Amino acid sequence: MDANLAMDVNGTNRIKASDLHLRFGWWSLLAYLTLGIFLEILHGFKLGWYLDVGNETRRLMFTLAHAHGTLLALVNLAAGLTVRAVPEFELARSASLSLLGSAVLLPGGFFLGGVAIHEGDPGLGILLVPVGALLLLYGVGRIAFDLRKTSGS
């Protein structure tokens, strides 16, 4: 009886983790794609705050925020689908939190770095980028390592 209960709880936790990453992935994909469309609008209206030569750093930081955010939204979708596709796989809480954190910190750092630029250098928000990158490496590495333990590998 206890073994069935444990399986039920693990199954519920797996579905909750999957649902979390799927919801977060779709909402963040919407947000980062919207950012990309907004950047295209800035470009289309030829706004100097975005396009002037002195603002090249801002343009690069915002473009990197959009690109990394979109990619990390897809990584979170992949994590949610992996939980559902591999029955023996359980997403570690640390890996889950790392992927979620990286999807906020990495693009957020690029974006904040572009909001206030100083003589061609990004603002202090850029300091979030290495933290987000380390979280991403840990999350992806942990998932890859844990997937090796499943019978399908």
- pLDDT tens per residue across span 5-53: 334 445 678 889 999 999 999 999 999 999 999 999 999 999 999 999 9
User: If pLDDT is split at 50, 70 and 90, which confidence band does 152 have?
Assistant: low
Q: What is the rounded average pLDDT of the residues 80-107?
A: 97
| Residue 91, φ and ψ in degrees, nearest 5 | -70, 120
* DSSP notation for 74-131: HHHHHHHHHHHH-TT----HHHHHHHHHHHHHHHHHHHHHHHS-BTTB--GGGGHHHH
Instruction: Give the pLDDT score at 12.
Output: 79
Provide the CB-side half-sphere exposure for 41 (13 A, CA): 6
The pTM (predicted TM-score) of the whole model is: 0.89
Query: What distances in angstroms separate CA 67 from CA 8, 31, 61, 86, one per listed residue?
Result: 39, 12, 10, 28
Q: Which two tokens stand for residue 118?
A: 């100083």
User: If pLDDT is split at 50, 70 and 90, which confidence band does 144 have?
Assistant: very high
pLDDT > 70: what percent of the chain?
92
Instruction: Give the pLDDT score at 34.
Output: 98
Please write the tens of the pLDDT for every residue from 68-83: 999 999 999 999 999 9
Q: What is the C-alpha separation between 68 and 52, in angstroms, rounded? A: 23
Q: What is the mean pLDDT of the chain?
A: 92
